Amino acid sequence: MSTLPRTIDRPAAPSEAAAVWLVAEREIASKLRSKAFLISTAILFVLALAGLVFGGLAAQNQSGTTIAVTADAVSLVPQSDALEVTEVADRAAAEALVSDGTVDAAVVGDPNAEPFGFTILAESSAPTTLLLQFAEVPEVELLQPAATDEALRFIVAIGFGIVFLMAASLFGSTIAQSVVEEKQTRVVEILISAIRARSLLAGKVIGNTVLAMAQILVLAAIAVVGLTVIGQTELLGLLGAPILWFAVFFLFGFVLLAALFAAAAAMVSRQEDIGSTTFPLTLLIMAPYFLVIFFNDNPVVLTIMSYVPFSAPVGMPMRLFLGEAQWWEPLIALAILIATCIGAILVGAKIYQNSLLRMGARVKLGEALRG
């Protein structure tokens, strides 16, 4: 009696889209199970909220802002411990005190300044402490105009710079470590037998991008809610559009960096060697942070930064906050960033595919590109 050989039904290989999503889910789940990741994220959110509240309250409670007030405007200035008021006879006397630095600003009666009935005079920028005393921002006349308040400009520059630096470096290094770990443990050989290398790369990039963008959106929400609660609606109005553009630019900038981090990590087989291949990328992440801090008052440097793909997520939102960018400039900068992002993904995928299964010594860049 003859028997027919049994056939084993093997599950069909997943489609490329399904494979990408499976890898992305795996990346997201592994991070959400990591206590270190959850704790560091919670600390980041708490520090962001505390910084906003402390900064807002410090601005509201700051004392020592000296102002001159003309006789016809005394009744229009709110009583506050944060203001040291000196009454003067007329506008000419108020301007003289502002010009020689005796007072930080002056409030003068002005019947034409509807609906307030007064105007604020300042030399280069109006003190934030004074502006916060009014429900609406009155008309401000600057004797020697400056773009923005120096302290506020510096704080915003640090904010954009440090958020980009922390998010990009944290998730970039995480991607690199994940790639090398899979090579060391030979797990990658099992994965590649089931899905394509480009699907594995895409899943890693998408999974970490979802987590990074989630952090950025939560930080943006904290900024909006925090500034609203402490009554900094004027500052919120100035930061609203730059924060939205920062999120958009960060999305494509992070995808660009994530693809390059994964490609750079695929060229080595040991955790100890990650730094040698990812060091140039680390410099690209750190450069915008230091540039925006040291040159936040330099229009030329900020303009260059806003069009360079690696620094555009910091440079362009900063220029929008300062009011130095035309409406069409973010669109052009974003188009350049997207084009560079596509190119980086193609190059990164080639390096990743050609290096992923090569063990032992570090793969040279030229060999990785040639395959």
Arithmetic mean of pLDDT, 353-358: 86
Whose structure tokens read 């006349």?
141
**If pLDDT is split at 50, 70 and 90, which confidence band does 279 have?**
very high
Nearest Cα to Cα of residue 128 among 226, 232, 50, 34: 232
Residue 297: predicted pLDDT? 84
Residue 237: predicted pLDDT? 74
Comparing 248 with 170, the larger pLDDT belongs to: 248
Residue 149: predicted pLDDT? 62
144 pLDDT above the threshold of 70: no
340 pLDDT above the threshold of 90: yes
167 and 215 in contact (C-beta within 8 Å)?
yes
For 252-275, write each residue's pLDDT tens digit: 999 999 999 999 999 998 888 898
The neighbouring-strand residues paired with 84 are: 66
For 182-220, write each residue's pLDDT tens digit: 888 888 888 888 888 888 999 999 999 999 999 999 988
Residue 299 to residue 280: CA distance in whole angstroms? 26
Strand, coil or helix: what is 107?
strand
Residue 185: predicted pLDDT? 85
With a CB cutoff of 8 Å and minimum separation 6, the contacts of 40 are 170
Q: Where are the domains of the chain?
A: 16-55+150-370, 63-142
With a CB cutoff of 8 Å and minimum separation 6, the contacts of 3 are none
308 pLDDT above the threshold of 70: yes
Strand, coil or helix: what is 4?
coil
With a CB cutoff of 8 Å and minimum separation 6, the contacts of 12 are none
Say what the pTM is: 0.74
| Cα 4 to Cα 7, 11, 73, 190, distances in angstroms | 9, 22, 103, 31
Strand, coil or helix: what is 304?
helix
For 61-87, write each residue's pLDDT tens digit: 545 678 888 888 777 777 777 688 888
Instruction: Compute how many other C-beta atoms are within 10 angstroms of the C-beta atom of residue 340.
Output: 17
Structure tokens given for 55: 């900064």
Residue 262: predicted pLDDT? 93
Structure tokens given for 42: 């919670």
Lowest mean pLDDT among 93-102, 114-123, 140-149, 239-248: 140-149
1 pLDDT above the threshold of 60: no
Structure tokens given for 178: 């994940």
Comparing 49 with 96, the larger pLDDT belongs to: 96
Percent with pLDDT over 70 in the chain:
84
With a CB cutoff of 8 Å and minimum separation 6, the contacts of 365 are 267, 351
Residue 240 to residue 236: CA distance in whole angstroms? 6
Strand, coil or helix: what is 140?
strand
Structure tokens given for 282: 């680390």
For 211-247, write each residue's pLDDT tens digit: 999 999 998 888 888 777 766 666 777 788 899 999 9
Determine phi and psi for 66, rounding to 5 degrees.
Answer: -95, 135
User: Where are the extended beta strands (E) located within the chain?
Assistant: 65-70, 83-88, 105-109, 118-122, 140-142
Nearest Cα to Cα of residue 320 among 310, 311, 330: 330
Determine phi and psi for 168, rounding to 5 degrees.
Answer: -65, -40
With a CB cutoff of 8 Å and minimum separation 6, the contacts of 92 are none
The neighbouring-strand residues paired with 140 are: 120
**If pLDDT is split at 50, 70 and 90, which confidence band does 5 have?**
low
Residue 136: predicted pLDDT? 64
Pairing of strands 105-109, 118-122: antiparallel
Lowest mean pLDDT among 138-142, 187-191, 246-250: 138-142
Residue 64: predicted pLDDT? 62
Structure tokens given for 39: 């704790």
63-142 carries CATH number 3.40.190: yes
The neighbouring-strand residues paired with 118 are: 109
Instruction: Compute how many other C-beta atoms are within 10 angstroms of the C-beta atom of residue 203.
Output: 22
